[in-house]
Amino acid sequence: MMYPRLKLARNLLTDDGVIFISIDDTEVANLRKILDEIFGENNFIASITRNTNSSKNQSLFVSVSHDYCLIYARDISVLSTKHAENKWSVPKNNIEEYKRKIEELKNLGLSNEQITEELKQLTKYPRFIDFVNYWYVDERGVYRKDNLGGVKNGNMTPIINPLTGKEDPVPPGGFRYSPEKLNELIKKNRIHFHTDGSLPTIKRYLDENLTQRPKSIMSDDQRPDNALLKEFNTPFDNPKQLAFMKRILSVGDKDSIILDFFSGSATTAHAVMQLNAEDGGNRKFIMVQLPEKTDEKSEAYKAGYKNICEIGKERIRRAGEKIVQETGKTDLDIGFKVFKLDSSNIDGF
């Protein structure tokens, strides 16, 4: 089943195109072999392990709570040249939720030190892994500590620690900044000092580092997706996470054509419209889905959806309306056309 579809998918890709394929443990090994044959081993980019926040507890031995997303380029040399000065960059995972948690802690009247301890615990959860070390808070916001040294033949002039009134140790090789620049950073409260004799560090604020290179381990909260499908009255089991789809699609050009030939509930179409609304892009989507009948006992069937295609179409309609309502951008292109595969006059088709 997979081979002919992937062969066709490769032929449809532009030279700088990329394919993302979600798969679970059952077929991931076979899929890698097929992709290596069709795309070539050298065009393999990465395998993302995605925490699904759900467990298959029917297993006797291991509770599986992840799947994979394999990434291959149509031509890695073309893609590498294109992004030599423009590396892939995506927003940090769950950044708005993390910032909300910080505000909640502040509203509880906790001290900065107490907030730091709470954040250290919070970042133990997989969905907040991108914020490990972003534990410290001052009047400017949340930050992580970074090295002031890491150079050779740097500035060897000690600086006075305002907390102890004494000179702090100088990093091996010296400070990376001149005495004048360090004094400027100190006046702006951009240096984190310690009272235990540790080296001073520079503050790297989260609001100044909102994006990152995509990581090979990703985790998103699936509850918002379930709530969204409930709001749309489009029941669907195990939908792809909207946040995940937006993240991987954001690495492409803003005028890309995105094809999803197992579109399911049309999360990809929703993600394309949402991204266009957020960054002014002009991405287009093509969703392909067999009219697979819904189980008569399923919530989708009870809601009036006789096949999966009907669920996807309704979600696209409602998602578009919701995006326009929330953004106030009435000029957004949220329209779409529906085509059905006709019968063929060729024997066997």
Is 263 found in the same domain as 188? Answer: no
Co-location of 207 and 259 in the same domain: no
Q: Dihedral of CA 312/314/320/323: which sign?
A: negative
pLDDT at 64: 85
230 and 337 part of one domain? yes
Tell me: pLDDT of 103 over 80.
Answer: yes
Residue whose entry in the numeric block shows the structure tokens 């946040």: 243
The residue from 145, 177, 211 where one domain ends is: 211
Q: Are residues 4 and 105 in the same domain?
A: no
Same domain? For 274 and 192 the reply is no
Establish if 347 belongs to a structural domain: no
> Taking the model in full, what pTM does it have?
0.83
Give the length of the chain.
349
Q: Which of 45, 68, 89 is the last residue of a domain?
A: 89
Under 8 Å between Cβ of 173 and 154? yes
Do residues 33 and 4 both lie within one domain?
Answer: yes
CB atoms within 10 A of CB 225: 22
Instruction: Identify whether 172 is part of a domain.
Output: yes
Count of domains observed in the chain? 3
Which residue, 29, 56, 89, sits at the end of a domain?
Answer: 89
In a domain? residue 12: yes
Per-residue pLDDT at 337 exceeds 70: yes
Pick from 266, 265, 315, 260: nearest CA to 294 = 265
Do residues 320 and 302 both lie within one domain? yes
Q: Would you say residue 163 lies in a domain?
A: yes
Q: How much is the mean pLDDT over the chain?
A: 92
Same domain (yes/no): 71, 100: no
Average pLDDT over residues 98-110: 95
Q: Which of 248, 246, 241, 243 is nearest to 215 (CA)?
A: 248
User: In the chain, how long is the greatest CA-to-CA distance?
Assistant: 89
315 and 235 together in one domain: yes
Establish if 104 belongs to a structural domain: yes
Verify that 197 and 257 share a domain, yes or no: no
Domain match, 111 and 74 both: no
Q: What is the pLDDT of residues 191-238, one digit of tens each?
A: 999 999 899 999 999 999 999 999 998 887 778 888 899 999 998 988
Q: Flag whether pLDDT at 54 surpasses 70.
A: no
Residue 275 in this model has a pLDDT that exceeds 70: yes
Is position 246 within any domain? yes
349 lies in some domain? no
What is the Cα–Cα distance from 168 to 35, expressed in whole angstroms? 55
Average pLDDT over residues 320-347: 89
Q: What tokens appear for 345 in the block?
A: 């006059």
| Cα first-last separation, the chain | 16
Asked if the structure places residue 286 within a domain, the reply is: yes
18-23 β-sheet, strand order: 18-23, 66-73, 44-51, 217-219
For residues 203 and 287, membership in a common domain is answered with no
Q: Which sign does the torsion angle of CA 201, 205, 208, 212 carry?
A: positive
List, for residues 140-153, the tens digit of each pLDDT value: 999 999 999 988 99
Domain range for 277:
220-342
Residue 141 in contact with residue 190, Cβ under 8 Å? no
CA distance 95 to 130: 9
